Amino acid sequence: MGFPQNSYPNDENFPFPSFPEEVPPPTDEPDTDTRCVRYNPSWALVLAAACDQLMQMTSWQGTPDEKKQAVNRAQTLKILLQTFEDCDMGCCYDTVEKRITSTGEMQIRVNGGDWQPDPNDPRVTAPTYPPITIDDHHRKCDAATNAATHIDDIISETSDQLGGAGSLLEIASAIALVIFALFIAPESIPALVPLILPLISGLIFLGQAAWDAYFTSDVHSQILCALFCHIQEDGTFTQAGYDGFIAQLGTDLPANAAKGYFIDIVGRIGLVGLNDYAAIGTSADADCSACDCPCDDCDTPNQLTFPYTDAAWKTDGSAPTLFRYSSFTPPLDFDSILVSDTSDTTLDLGEPRCIKKITWNNGYDPTGWGVRIDGVDYAATSNDSGASGAPGCVGQNLTVDFGSSPVFGQVIHIKRLTHPEDNAIAMGCLKVDYCP
């Protein structure tokens, strides 16, 4: 009579061995090229005990030396399983959440932490094109005009889509394409459609007619001026400039339902995109003189110097008359214009600027002089640092200093505010300090 319950192996009596047959040992050390695994630390000792089977020579194939090496590596693995780090120390795989805010910002949160800007946002990783070359025919107004032209394209495409019969997704995709195609690779644009999609229902409710009626010539001018007032001298936007542009749209544009949707759409462009908008275009000699920008003071103003040869000094289009003092022969850097008529001398800065100070030389009686900017007169103060006969540009004897309150303007009229019938002046080395 047999005892089958005692046969080996069986589940009731003798369990199956972990390795019924020898297996080939792994070829890598267990502490190299590691990965992290999550488990409750109370199981560490149990897992370590399970490694004891790996420390049996009979578990492994190979020569005695190969088996000994496998056993030693199993011992290392047993130690590693009992040596662990908390997951907030970076060992474990991260849980990443993503969201899009109401302002169109793409954010991520790692392991339940604070929400942060998504570093993989295509608007952030897109290339930044070189700014326009600033020269006599391409200035920051041209860069602002380039950007305004691309924004006009967004306005036009939105109108076309509202007049069509596309689905919400189709409309959002078409608007996203016109916003981002200039600076984002085509394969990345679908990821940005969710930024536009929440706006479409409201735009459809608003309707094409109301959208088109909002964008009058005045509104288009206000958009251009908001761009111009916050772009830098080199035709680029900083983050502060971008934020200022969006804020000025909110302040200057007339109240209307279309206004909110427009600002929401433009707010999706992003800093890189707006700089690329400004860099790409054919605008030249654009006119931003109608823009009235707020001026902030600055500690280190830029400076424009106008020698006598500058055409802007000519009051009647003729060649300037050189005025030379009898006591010496003027050096090359101190030629002067003699203006002797009843008109003023007009100086055009090329585009509006925040003027901080104006200084110039006057070879005649310096009293009564000043400047007129946008119809407002500002009297000059005088001193003897650049008095009649002083060589070079070492000093100017007439100054209009706006101090910590720069004045915004483009055309400066240099006038004798008192005794205008005697408008004679020998000028040289006029300088204009302005805040960028």
> Does 123 share its domain with 259?
yes
Please, what is the end-to-end C-alpha distance for the chain in angstroms?
107
Looking at the structure of the chain, the number of domains it has is 3
CB 300 within 8 A of CB 233: no
Report the C-alpha gap between 6 and 365 in whole angstroms.
127
> Does 112 share its domain with 257?
yes
Residue-level pLDDT at 137: 75
> Does 385 share its domain with 340?
yes
CATH code of the domain covering residue 393: 2.60.120
pLDDT for 113 beyond 80: yes
Q: How confident is the model at residue 341 (pLDDT cuts 50, 70, 90)?
A: very low
Report the C-alpha gap between 248 and 61 in whole angstroms.
76
Report the C-alpha gap between 257 and 204 in whole angstroms.
12
Strand partners, 414: 345, 371
> Does 99 share its domain with 35?
no
Percent of the chain with pLDDT over 90: 39
- Tell me the range of 83-97, 143-157, 381-395, 414-428 where mean pLDDT is highest: 143-157
Domain that holds residue 227: 94-294
Between 271-279 and 140-162, two packed helices, what is the crossing angle to 10 degrees? 110
Q: How confident is the model at residue 23 (pLDDT cuts 50, 70, 90)?
A: confident
Residue-level pLDDT at 269: 96
pLDDT 10s digits, 363-418:
556 677 788 887 788 988 876 544 443 334 444 578 889 988 899 888 887 777 77
pLDDT for 15 beyond 70: no
pLDDT for 314 beyond 70: no
pLDDT for 63 beyond 50: yes
pLDDT 10s digits, 177-233:
999 999 999 999 999 999 999 999 999 999 999 999 999 999 999 999 999 999 998
> Does 241 share its domain with 334?
no
Output Rg (C-alpha) for the chain, integer angstroms. 38
CB-side exposure of 22: number of CA atoms within 13 Å?
14
φ/ψ of 413, rounded to 5, equals -100, 115
φ/ψ of 295, rounded to 5, equals -110, 130
The residue with greater pLDDT, 315 or 154, is 154
Report the C-alpha gap between 63 and 70 in whole angstroms.
11
Residue-level pLDDT at 338: 36
> Does 279 share its domain with 365?
no
Residue-level pLDDT at 273: 96
Report the C-alpha gap between 277 and 271 in whole angstroms.
10
Single residue among 260, 294, 328 that ends a domain in this structure: 294
Is 182 exposed, middle or buried (CB count within 10 Å of its CB: 0-12, 13-18, 19+)?
Answer: middle
- The amino acid present at 137, given as its one-letter code, is H
CB-side exposure of 220: number of CA atoms within 13 Å?
16
Single residue among 31, 62, 87 that ends a domain in this structure: 87
pLDDT for 308 beyond 50: no
CB 302 within 8 A of CB 434: yes
Residue-level pLDDT at 177: 96
Give the residue-averaged pLDDT of 273-285. Answer: 94
> Does 99 share its domain with 128?
yes
**Tokens 């290339």 found at:** 127
**Tokens 């005649």 found at:** 364
pLDDT for 263 beyond 90: yes
> Does 12 share its domain with 107?
no
The residue with greater pLDDT, 14 or 295, is 295
Single residue among 87, 104, 135 that ends a domain in this structure: 87
> Does 79 share its domain with 102?
no
SS3 of residue 313 by DSSP: helix
φ/ψ of 373, rounded to 5, equals -130, 120
Cα–Cα distance list, 97 to 29, 40, 148 (Å): 35, 23, 35
